[in-house]
Chains A and B, each alone.
With several copies, the nearest count.
Chain A
Amino acid sequence: MKDVNAKATASETTELLRFSDVRYTYPGAGHPALSGLSLTVPQGKKCVLLGHNGCGKSTLFLHANGILRPQHGEVLWKGSPIGNDRASLFALKQRIGLVFQDPEQQLIATTVAEDLSYGLCNLKLPDAMIREKLEGVMERFQMTEWAEMPLHHLSLGQKRRVALAGVMVMEPELLLLDEPTAYLDQGQTQSFVQELERIHTAGTTILMATHDVDLAFAWADWIFVMEKGQLVLEGVPEAVFSDRDRLAGLQLRIPAVYEVWQALPDALREQVDADCIPRTSAELAARLRAVSNQADRYESVVMQK
């Protein structure tokens, strides 16, 4: 893990989006929402953004997408600053897809198909191409059968999927997600994460804000922690969650599986394979069980002798 004061982050990968000392205060607000944020999203990674409500996550997203413009500092896309003109901001919105916290607020049209086509229509693509892309995305997200459904008839999980599909149909290079699993039940969360896995495999970089550290630990390649409009910690999950004192100061819980893993007796951990940290409790449990089965077998062998 590197402190933010250390040199640039993922030097081994290409940088996709970079914030450089960005400051932003909402008009009329007493204190800044971003106060010198510097952060680099590496290409091709699954990134998670942790931090309290009000730490500036949403403001960061709105800057990434070009809706807000920094009052100080700059935002760079693949190394070059984002222009202020309409055309380059429009192009940016195409490359960076933003899925809002509440799908209710993102879904604009009346039916599923209409909503999915909204972004494409804004690109002024020919109708035939829009139709083709639409059919493609509906098939990929398995929503062809509800294409003509009015949006208010869908469940929350379905709405979240439509919101995601409406962004993915634009084929963005970077996908920003703001707490995509809140209010979802476990089946829904699981299928949402599978969806993300597919998207990532197809080549999209993902940055997801969440409060669920267990999910973050299980899913992320790289973790950012923000506080008071600044980046305060970043690194691979194991590294970020090792710094107990720092996390306590940030009021962040340690992921359950990692907490228990670290507390296991060294001997047992070695048996389970200390080099490869389990990412979910199910994985840890499975490996522990494998070990005890071995031990049982071993014991029974010994007994037989």
Chain B
Amino acid sequence: MKGRRTRSSFLLIAGLMIYFLLNTPETGHAMHIMEGYLPVGWSLFWWAAFLPFFFLGLRSIRRIVKERPEFKLLLGVAGAFAFVLSALKIPSVTGSSSHPTGTGLGSILFGPWVMAVLGSLVLLFQALLLAHGGLTTLGANAFSMAVVGPVVAYGVYRLVAGRLGKQKIGIFLAAALADLSTYLVTSVQLALAFPAASGGIAASFAKFAGIFALTQVPLAISEGLLTVLVWNWLQAY
């Protein structure tokens, strides 16, 4: 039973991290807000918005680890797995790249708060080993990719797979919507920091969202499909 749970939790991360696959090092930071891009005020704001979730995650990890010390090892492997997928040079469908909201689906089993920790560690590694994103913008990036994405994925999966009993559709939607929500949140973050001269925040949001939609919408769909594909494989063996 324990083995099964471990396996299925890992499996979910695997699925979620699929779109990491579409994230090539060359263009991979399309959705990682770069170092220094946000003004000081907004950097601090997003750090402050992210940290409570992070601490919630730490608390629940501590609770699990007390019971099962090896859980730490499992989380570490899961994080490394996610990071490696994101770092592989693999051409994607659209020729563009994705971003790591995929942590979202891991939340289905670990719970979204654990993913807030794991996802932000993956982001930190991307910053330190690949120079994707940055330190001052880590709060903003983590908020969109390690908090909102997982929460959306968790909610969607619970609703569709739990209430409606449609597991595969649930997984597809969870992966795709987690991806989309991350991209929308990033657009909001940018719009808030840089309101348009004409039309203000709303206009700015429309512009940022419009630009990134070119790559992010097809990605969200293909990621949903790939996640289901890998899910099927994992189920079969």
Q: A and B from one assembly?
A: yes
Contacts of A150 in B (CB 8 A): 237
Q: Tell me if A190 counts as interface (CB < 8 A to partner B).
A: no
Q: Which chain A residues (150-167) contact chain B, with CB distance < 8 Å?
A: 150
Q: How far is the CB of B122 from chain A (nearest CB, A)?
A: 17
Q: Tell me if A110 counts as interface (CB < 8 A to partner B).
A: yes
Chain A residue with Cβ nearest B73: A108
Which residues does A use to contact B, with CB under 8 Å? 110, 150
Question: How many angstroms from the CA of A110 to the CA of B76 in the assembled complex?
Answer: 13
Q: Tell me if B197 counts as interface (CB < 8 A to partner A).
A: no
Q: How far is the CB of A92 from chain B (nearest CB, A)?
A: 19
Q: How far is the CB of B83 from chain A (nearest CB, A)?
A: 14
Q: Tell me if B236 counts as interface (CB < 8 A to partner A).
A: yes
Q: How far is the CB of B179 from chain A (nearest CB, A)?
A: 27
Contacts of B237 in A (CB 8 A): 110, 150
Question: How many angstroms from the CA of A150 to the CA of B237 in the assembled complex?
Answer: 8
Question: How many angstroms from the CA of A110 to the CA of B237 in the assembled complex?
Answer: 8
**CB 8 Å contact bits of B223-237 with A (1 = contact, 0 = none):** 000000000010011
Q: How far is the CB of B101 from chain A (nearest CB, A)?
A: 28
4 contacts between A and B (CB under 8 A): A110-B233, A110-B236, A110-B237, A150-B237
Chain B residue with Cβ nearest A152: B237
Question: How many angstroms from the CA of A110 to the CA of B129 in the assembled complex?
Answer: 14
Question: How many angstroms from the CA of A143 to the CA of B237 in the assembled complex?
Answer: 20
Q: How far is the CB of B130 from chain A (nearest CB, A)?
A: 14
Contacts of A110 in B (CB 8 A): 233, 236-237
Q: How far is the CB of A266 from chain B (nearest CB, A)?
A: 61
Contacts of B236 in A (CB 8 A): 110
Chain B residue with Cβ nearest A27: B3
Q: How far is the CB of B70 from chain A (nearest CB, A)?
A: 13
Question: How many angstroms from the CA of A150 to the CA of B128 in the assembled complex?
Answer: 15
Question: How many angstroms from the CA of A110 to the CA of B236 in the assembled complex?
Answer: 10
Question: How many angstroms from the CA of A86 to the CA of B89 in the assembled complex?
Answer: 19
In the complex, the 4 A-B pairs of residues with the closest C-beta atoms, listed nearest first: A110-B237, A150-B237, A110-B236, A110-B233
Question: How many angstroms from the CA of A150 to the CA of B236 in the assembled complex?
Answer: 11
Q: How far is the CB of A179 from chain B (nearest CB, A)?
A: 24
Chain A residue with Cβ nearest B233: A110
Chain B residue with Cβ nearest A150: B237
Q: Which chain B residues (205-237) contact chain A, with CB distance < 8 Å?
A: 233, 236-237
Question: How many angstroms from the CA of A110 to the CA of B80 in the assembled complex?
Answer: 14
Q: How far is the CB of A265 from chain B (nearest CB, A)?
A: 60
